[in-house]
A and B are shown apart, each in its own frame.
Chain A
Amino acid sequence: MSVRVGTADFDVSAEMARIAGNDTDIGGVAVFVGKVRGRADGQDLVSMTLEHYPGMTETELERIETEAQHRFNLSASLIVHRIGTLKPGDNIVLVIACAPHRHDAFAAAGFLMDYLKTRAPFWKQETLANGESRWVAAKESDDTAAAAWRSKAAD
């Protein structure tokens, strides 16, 4: 289980090899990569700058990973999140969930992303082609997705 926050890009294959290693109990690996879209609300995007809360970010990501471990049969997991200024097409976030079986891998990757979206202290600021700069507003649909996991807690 590990988390990493920084400006550097990531190599999905290298990260997958590192996190899964030689663990032959792993039967499934789910990988999610979040990327910068070139358009936002119909407008061309020049760049996206990610701010975060150093210290709390790492703590919160570790809490989310721990919660995933309690909920799913996970062999290993990884969260890498980039900060700083990114361009359309750039990678933002990588989530890898390794499990003996696919259902746990898929579900854990989805859970990690849904919780990260609503709990990890990152904020996006978009710079548009027209020169305008604006902070991205939180989406209600992200809160709904995270809340759905909370109601599943008793399953």
Chain B
Amino acid sequence: MTATPQFRTTKPESDSPGSREVVLRYFAWLREKIGTGEERMPLPPTITTVSDLLHWQVTRGHPFDAAFAKPDAIRVALDHAHAKPTATIANAREIAFFPPVTGG
């Protein structure tokens, strides 16, 4: 999908008031542990920061509990931009999780 951060909108077909569907992407060993590179999920309305999101993943049971056991070792991008744990998710449509990058 193409993310357009400057025109973020909440999808009108959200599951319930306060809950909206987002695309979650996984890369490298995280993708392997989870068994998929992409899923669509309604985000619980209580989640507001990247840190909330990482800790919510641990509560989702197998295989997420093991994959996210060390949330500090996982990096997050909101709509194709790196985000710190304290960052607010706001209206991000695509949220990616990955280990520290190793290109070059």
Q: Which of B2, B28, B77, B103 has the most CB of A within 10 A?
A: B103
The answer to whether A55 touches B2 (Cβ under 8 A) is yes
Given A116-B104, A122-B103, A138-B99, check contact A55 B80 (CB 8 Å). yes
**CA A37 to CA B96, docked complex, whole Å:** 29
**CA A136 to CA B77, docked complex, whole Å:** 20
Query: B residues near A, CB below 8 A?
Result: 1-3, 25, 27-29, 77, 80-82, 96, 98-104
Partner of A50, one of B77, B80, B103: B103
Identify whether the interface residues of B are mostly helix, strand, loop, or mixed: loop
Q: A113 contacts which chain B residues (CB < 8 A)?
A: 104
Q: Is A71 an interface residue (CB 8 A)?
A: no
The answer to whether B102 touches A53 (Cβ under 8 A) is no
Query: Nearest chain B CB to A81's CB is how many angstroms away?
Result: 6
The answer to whether A34 touches B100 (Cβ under 8 A) is no
A interface residues, tally (CB under 8 Å): 27
The answer to whether B77 touches A123 (Cβ under 8 A) is no
Given A55-B2, A55-B3, A123-B27, check contact A117 B103 (CB 8 Å). yes
Q: Is A92 an interface residue (CB 8 A)?
A: yes
Q: A135 contacts which chain B residues (CB < 8 A)?
A: 28-29, 99, 102
Residue of A nearest to B103 (CB): A122
Residue of B nearest to A5 (CB): B103
The answer to whether A53 touches B103 (Cβ under 8 A) is no
Query: Nearest chain A CB to B6's CB is how many angstroms away?
Result: 12
Q: B2 contacts which chain A residues (CB < 8 A)?
A: 55
Given A51-B27, A53-B98, check contact A123 B103 (CB 8 Å). yes
Q: Is A144 an interface residue (CB 8 A)?
A: no
Known contacts A56-B77, A135-B28; 8 additional CB pairs below 8 A are A56-B81, A60-B82, A81-B103, A92-B103, A93-B103, A119-B101, A121-B103, A124-B102
* 5 A-B pairs with the lowest CB-CB distances in the bound complex, closest first: A122-B103, A138-B100, A123-B28, A56-B80, A117-B104
Q: Is A87 an interface residue (CB 8 A)?
A: no
